[in-house]
Amino acid sequence: MNYNSVNKVRITAFRATENPEACDKFIEGHSKVLSSHGVDKVTSSNNDWKYNPEAYVILIETGDGERVLGGSRVHCLGGTQPLPLVPATRDLDKSVIDYVDQLGEKGVGEICGLWNSLEVAGMGVGSIFSIRCAVAVLSQLNIQYSLALCSPYTARLAGNYGFNIEESLGNNGTFYYPKLDLLATIVRLDDVHTIPGGNEHELKRIFDLRENPVQTKEEKGRKGAEFIIEYNLKI
């Protein structure tokens, strides 16, 4: 991709069980990225989520649909699986089980499976656009809270979307995951509808996507990248 050209991208949100073919495209792309980082298997990448009625996918593709560029998922408590961060961290801190169950009384989900292809690394496709769309979708789900288990880089970005580190879990919110030499942090958004503490620019884009989940817009990423993005975020 030429960073100085306008590239057409489409971002689609859907319930996993309603589009198995798109789920397989997501899985294949994510697996390649994990392998490139020397991570062949992580608990949260168990692909049974594609049969979970409370798993939702944000898929980012080229405009022609020929290549998958990245994506993320949202899992809600109450489906056929626990939230992915529970099996990922419970052996390190058993209190995470009760913690998630308590949030579940008012509805809780988890943003997970965030990735982008090497083709668009550093351009904001797998971070800015993917997180923004995932947070926009949260308001369509029957939840109040959202959690995420983040890399150090993503944890820094999460503050733009109203997430704060959950210091009551792990070592002040951190765990060694998915490998002993990698660090992950649990972050929490207290109200998926109002997004308290979110960045003003990001809130403007998120609420616009909520009001108009099907739209086409020219967007600017990083490294001078420009995109025409076709959004379809209505689940």
CA 80 to chain centre: 19
Q: 150 with 113: CB under 8 angstroms?
A: no
pLDDT for position 153 = 85
Q: What is the pTM of this model?
A: 0.90
- Joined together, the tokens standing for residue 6 give 């306008």
Residue 124, CA distances (Å) to 25, 29, 131, 214 in order = 20, 17, 10, 21
Distance CA 232, CA 2 (A): 25
CB 83 within 8 A of CB 54: no
Nearest to 224, CA basis, from 124, 126, 133: 124
Residue 148 phi/psi, 5° resolution? -160, 145
Long-range Cβ contacts of 214-217 (<8 Å, 24+ apart):
none
Confidence (pLDDT) at 38: 57
Amino acid found at 87: P
Written as six digits, the tokens of 41 are 């298997």
The dihedrals phi and psi of 114, each to the nearest 5 degrees, come to -75, 130
Residue 76 has a CB neighbour count (10 Å cut-off) of 21
H/E segment holding residue 108? strand 108-116
pLDDT in tens, the chain (235 residues): 443 344 899 999 999 999 999 999 999 888 877 665 555 555 445 799 999 999 999 999 988 888 889 999 999 999 999 999 999 999 999 999 999 999 999 999 999 998 887 676 666 676 789 999 999 999 999 999 999 999 888 899 999 999 999 999 999 999 988 777 788 999 999 999 999 999 999 999 999 999 999 999 998 877 777 889 999 999 9
Question: Domains plus CATH for the chain?
Answer: 6-232 (3.40.630.30)
Q: What is the maximal distance between C-alpha atoms in the chain?
A: 49
Give the model's pLDDT for residue 110.
Answer: 98
